[in-house]
Amino acid sequence: MHETCLKAENTIAYVSHFEELTNLVQRPVSIVESCAMAAVRASLDMNAGAIIVLSTSGDSARLLSKYRPVCPIFMITRNPSASRYGHLYRGVYPFYFPEQKPDFTKVNWQEDVDRRIKWGLSEAIKLKVLAQGETVVVVQGWKGGMGNTNTLRVIKAEPDLGLVAV
């Protein structure tokens, strides 16, 4: 049965399907949805191995899923409820980040973001759902909390990403 499902998934024309979906969306779109569309477009253009999204509520992961990228979406979250809901969205693999949210008056926001990205990459590589050297599109916010997703980065899944050490 799983072979049948894999064959069916491989017959989907993802690029034309993405174009059709984006053409049907009523404009103007929200910032978060625009970032989701851009991330999926980038993943298709670069044949990315994954999209990593840092999410509080899971809404960013849901929007990424809406546009049906070829690659898996790894949602890194500190929210156990969002982690559970993430399983309901197509292509989303939630990773529950076990550390508590730090006090950002004492810890740099970007250092925390980089630590979560690096942790997510290492977990995906350990699970063999991402290979070292693959291109990864990262979706994140400029500050903590819901509704702040507005940033895309493209990185390689390498042991030393130039990010903060885990």
DSSP state of 134: -
Over pLDDT 90: what percentage of the chain?
66
Given the DSSP bridges, would you call strands 92-96 and 73-77 parallel, antiparallel or unpaired?
parallel
The pTM (predicted TM-score) of the whole model is 0.87
What CATH number does the domain located at 2-156 have?
Answer: 3.40.1380.20
Query: At which residue do the structure tokens 């050297």 appear?
Result: 133
DSSP state of 164: P
pLDDT at 12 (0 to 100): 66
In angstroms, the CA 6 to CA 29 distance is 32
Give the residue extent of every domain in the chain.
Answer: 2-156
pLDDT at 96 (0 to 100): 97
* Pair 74, 53: CB distance under 8 Å: yes
Q: How many CA atoms lie within 13 A of 98 on its CB side?
A: 3
Give per-residue pLDDT as tens, 42-69.
999 999 999 999 999 999 999 999 999 9
Looking at residues 12-41, what average pLDDT do you find? 85
Instruction: For residue 33, give the 3-state DSSP assignment.
Output: helix
* Pair 117, 138: CB distance under 8 Å: yes
Q: With cut-offs at 50, 70 and 90, classify the pLDDT of residue 166.
A: very low
pLDDT at 16 (0 to 100): 74
Give per-residue pLDDT as tens, 100-148.
988 878 888 889 999 999 999 999 999 999 999 999 999 998 776 677 7
